[in-house]
């Protein structure tokens, strides 16, 4: 999930409600270079990862995950909307039974700039207590959103909790957050396609492209 770093004084605790609001986020410098919606429609640039490169890496990740969870039930929690394509491909490639939940992490809504809040909606994540949980997201940069997701899920006492992302902008990390399964590590470019969007555009692209 593309994230915004919290301003000084932002709260760190959570209660056990289903709706989590993390207020007063500031834009990261890299996100400040995001083009307008009008410019995006004219500036789709090179393909970063092709359909075949995506398919091959998903298969490789599924092999690792299948081995790690052999003999254990697996509950997958997908972070909507961006990880929809990745999650669907991944759980099919696992070729084993899984249960599926979802949560919504939103800071952009239908804009190219943050509205200033990250909101987590967890009503559909499923019962994670005493279960082996794998959170699947499209992309991680600063790490703030995944760190908050981890804090929320740990409050529900899963047996184990791991994270898989397809893209990792590790050089943008602002909190100490390690991802267990990473598709590709990329530099600080804004990318769309394969579920990734800019103001809700271009999720449908089957490759990942730079804008």
Active-site residues, by number, are: 141
> Which residues have a Cβ under 8 Å from the Cβ of 123 and sit 6 or more positions away?
18
d(CA 108, CA 74): 30
Q: Closest Cα partner for 120 from 156, 164, 94?
A: 156
User: Tokens 């990792």 label which residue?
Assistant: 168
Q: Closest Cα partner for 210 from 89, 79, 35?
A: 35
How many CA within 13 A on the CB side of residue 51?
A: 3
Q: Closest Cα partner for 140 from 171, 100, 99?
A: 171
DSSP 43-102: ----EEE-HHHHHHHHHHHHHHHHHHTTTS--EEEEEETTTHHHHHHHHHHH-S--EEEE
d(CA 109, CA 197): 11
d(CA 55, CA 126): 28
Q: What is the DSSP letter of 124?
A: T
């Amino acid at each position: 999930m593309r994230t915004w770093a919290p301003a000084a004084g932002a709260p760190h605790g959570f209660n056990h409600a289903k709706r989590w609001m993390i207020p007063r986020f500031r834009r990261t410098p890299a996100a400040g270079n995001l083009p307008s919606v009008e410019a995006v429609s004219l500036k789709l640039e090179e393909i970063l990862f092709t359909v075949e490169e995506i398919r091959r890496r998903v298969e490789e990740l599924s092999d690792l995950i299948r081995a790690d969870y052999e003999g254990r039930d697996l509950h997958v929690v997908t972070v909507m909307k961006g990880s929809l394509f990745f999650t669907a491909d991944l759980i099919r490639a696992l070729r084993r039974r899984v249960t599926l939940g979802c949560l919504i992490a939103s800071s952009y809504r239908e804009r190219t700039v943050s509205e200033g809040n990250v909101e987590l909606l967890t009503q559909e994540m499923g019962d994670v207590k005493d279960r082996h949980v794998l959170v699947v997201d499209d992309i991680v940069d600063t790490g703030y959103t995944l760190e908050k997701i981890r804090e929320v899920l740990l409050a529900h006492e899963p047996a184990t909790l791991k994270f898989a992302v397809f893209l990792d902008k590790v050089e943008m990390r602002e909190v100490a957050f390690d991802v267990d399964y990473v598709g590709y590590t990329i530099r600080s470019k804004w990318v769309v396609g394969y579920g990734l969007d800019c103001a809700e555009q271009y999720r449908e692209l089957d490759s990942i492209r730079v804008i």
